């Protein structure tokens, strides 16, 4: 388990600097028994675009959520 944890952390750090796709890094977090992992980028001001990355959702699904649902989500307000 400790090796899998270390490998997951390495993938997350690698994704942060562009070495590993975010989807792969987030999917690796599944070792925790979670359903999945998502990183949501919330705009700091009007006119900026929100976007999300996820291990278990396609890029198209993330784009749909970012465009239609994130603007009305109480968690990201």
Q: How confident is the model at residue 75 (pLDDT cuts 50, 70, 90)?
A: confident
* Per-residue exposure over 24-35, b if at least 16 CB sit within 10 Å of its own CB, e if not: ebbbbbeeeeee
- The separation between the first and the last C-alpha atoms of the chain, rounded to the nearest angstrom, is 36
Instruction: Delimit the domains of the chain by residue range.
Output: 2-76
In this predicted structure, the answer to whether residue 60 has a pLDDT above a threshold of 90 is: yes
**pLDDT at res. 64:** 93
Q: 52, 40 in Cβ contact below 8 A?
A: yes
Model confidence pLDDT, tens digit, residues 28-58:
877 667 677 788 888 888 888 888 888 788 8
């Amino acid at each position: 388990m400790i090796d899998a944890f270390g490998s997951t952390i390495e993938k997350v750090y690698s994704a942060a600097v562009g070495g590993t796709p975010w989807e792969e890094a987030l999917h690796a977090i599944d070792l925790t028994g979670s359903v999945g992992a998502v990183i949501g980028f919330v705009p700091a001001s009007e006119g900026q675009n929100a976007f999300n990355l996820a291990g278990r959702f396609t890029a198209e699904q993330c784009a749909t959520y970012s465009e239609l649902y994130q603007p009305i989500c109480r968690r990201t307000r």
